Structure 1
Amino acid sequence: MCESCRGDGGSFFSHRRIGGTTDGIFLVSTIVFIINMLDDNTKPVPPSATGEHAGATNGRLQEEHKDMAVSKAHHGAEERDAKQKNGTRSAQKQRTGDEQYFTANPQSADVRRERKVTLRGYEATVQTSNGVFSGNRVDLGTSVLLRHAPMPPQQGTGLDLGCGWGPIALALGFESPDLDIWAIDINERAVDLTAENAKSNGLEHVHAVTSDAVPADLTFDVIWSNPPIRIGKDALHELLMAWLPRLNPGGAAYLVVQKNLGSDSLIPWLAQALGDGYSVSKYASSKGYRVIEVLRQA
């Protein structure tokens, strides 16, 4: 910049005369540069540039849409895989449930597990396995029955109908050492587990067998049961009517049934099916379960 441009109050545009060719060219070039900078912010983009920009933008949008589509397809596949896996687990669970109730010889691996349990205040170490009812723990329904059923008779004959791995039979055995107890189940693995658990806990008066091994003329003073509700109404009714009439006069049965699986409707049905000489009523309720009492008049 020329010296005169730096004077007091001097302005870049205040000169009346350009001092020389070089200064003039510099001044003109600078003015053109500034004007171009100002124009660049307002002048329209050439059509070719607009097309290139739009093409680039569209290209990016297409790529983004493609990525979104791929991501959506990926997540959709993941959801389908998850549903398929859940369905497989449900089917496997249902098959295990079917084995618990319907299968004499379960096909699942017989993997024994040792458990420490408390049955009506008695500590026991037991073996459980796959393919039997509640093979990992004492189920909630059985816990409700053991908590609320009254003291069993000290002598006579007792029945655990549908014994699983044996928690009810063991509880009866602990409380009544002189009671002759029969534990029955269609599932041979369950019967074996109950027999082993009774023996290992010193309960020699517990007999674990399949139902066809019970003497036909044997009757019972007490029956405790968590019956297999999920076998279906007709099969359940047939099972109960095969064993409840074998109560001795003055005998009592205590059944635990989940409320939402028909416990309240089962009470009047049993009363009608058993007929005169029996009384059927709700004995206790807890945690969504009913304990049903069946008494045979003396």
Structure 2
Amino acid sequence: MSEQDHYFTARPASPDERRLLRVLLAGREVEVETAGGIFSPDHVDLGTRVLLDHVPDPPGEGDLLDLGCGWGPIALTLALRSPSARVWAVDVNERSLDLTRRNAERLGLSNVRAVRPDEVPDEVRLAALWSNPPIRVGKPALHAMLTQWLGRLAPGAEAHLVVGKNLGADSLQRWIAAELGRSVERTASVKGFRVLAVRDR
């Protein structure tokens, strides 16, 4: 499997391919399902862990977005912390979406909607966006993705992105400020990862 294939796996994992994993989310040890063919199937990757450990609690209500959900660690955390909010778990990988749906059901989280990007209604405005974005899709695709979704933040809402320093976190911070006209603040720098808080100027 090439480096980028896990972003575009079309087929949900079969029962034989799925496996159980115990992880810590929102201060709780939970059991989730994962499978090969997705990003970080064997653990909560370090970048996502840094994000989850270094952002303020999400809004208690409204529409929250996990951009590039994988098997769901960010979306599940948002839903656990904000049970009255609606959480959109967005990915282009059908296997990831299927696993996120299964994991939300396993944890009793009826407020998670795991969908492809074009399935989020146009009128939805986001109260928060959390993401460990798929940097390796390349700059043009990444910039298009961030332009689209950061543009859907509600007035006063914040996005929090985690990006590896060696994967261009500092240049991405400059690009968001210059090209999207957003305020971008580095709120944490841990183990080679930057957490960027993005908001209106």
Q: Give TM-score, length-normalised by structure 2.
A: 0.95
Pick from 248, 251, 254 the counterpart of residue 160 of structure 2.
254
2:189 is aligned to 285
Deviations 1:59-96 (Å, cap 9, x if unpaired)?
xxxxxxxxxxxxxxxxxxxxxxxxxxxxxxxxx4xx1x
Write out per-residue CA displacement over residues 110-156 of structure 1, whole angstroms, 9 at most, x where no aligned residue.
Answer: 71010111013122110000111111111010000000011111111
Q: What residue in structure 2 maps to residue 105 of structure 1?
A: 10
Structure 2 stretches lacking a partner, 5+ long: none
Q: Does the aligned pair in 2 maintain the 1:161–1:224 contact within 8 Å?
A: yes
Q: Which of the pair is proportionally richer in strand?
A: 2
**Residue aligning to 2:145:** 239
- Residue equivalent to 1:117: 23
Instruction: Give the corresponding residue for 2:38.
Output: 132
2:171 match = 265
Rg bigger for which structure?
A: 1
**Whose helix fraction is larger, Structure 1's or Structure 2's?**
1
Aligned partners of 1:100, 1:296: CA distance in 2, in Å? 33
Report the counterpart of residue 295 of structure 1 in structure 2.
199
Residue identity over aligned pairs, in percent, reads 51
CA–CA separation in structure 2 for the residues paired with 1:287 and 1:162: 21
> Equivalent residue of 1:234, what SS?
helix
Q: Which digits, 9 at most, give the CA deviation of each residue in 1:208-264, with x for residues without a partner? A: 011111111211010000000011111111111110010000100000000000001
Once the two structures are TM-superposed, the CA of residue 107 in structure 1 deviates from its matched residue by 9.5
Equivalences for 1:34-45 in 2 at 5 Å?
Answer: none
Shift of 1:104: 4.5
Q: Which moved more, 1:105-114 or 1:251-260?
A: 105-114
**Distance in 2 between residues matched to 1:167 and 1:256, nearest whole Å:** 14
The C-alpha deviation readout for 1:146-199, integer Å capped at 9, x for no partner, is: 000111111111000000000000000111111111001000010000011001
CA contact (8 A) 2:13 2:95 kept: no
- Where in structure 1 do 4 or more consecutive aligned residues deviate above 2 Å? 106-110
**Is 2:119 the counterpart of 1:213?**
yes
1:175 to 81, 84, 98: 81
**Counterpart-to-counterpart distance in 1, 2:137 and 2:13:** 19
Indicate the SS of the match to 1:164.
Answer: coil
TM-score by length of 1: 0.65
Q: Which runs of 5+ in 1 are unaligned?
A: 1-91
Q: Distance in 2 between matches of 1:230 and 1:140?
A: 16
Structural RMSD (CA): 1.5
For residue 103 of structure 2, the aligned residue among 187, 191, 197 is 197
Kindly tell me: are residues 154 and 107 of structure 1, through their superposed partners in 2, closer, same or farther at Cα, counting changes over 3 Å?
A: closer
Q: 2:48 aligns with which of 142, 153, 156?
A: 142
Pick closer, same or farther for the CA change 1:104–1:217 going to 2, 3 Å: farther
Q: How does 1:6-85 map to 2 (within 5 A)?
A: none
Within 1, Cα distance between the matches of 2:101 and 2:53? Answer: 23
Aligned-partner Cα distance in 1 for 2:110–2:12: 29
CA distance 1:247–1:107, change in 2 (3 Å): closer
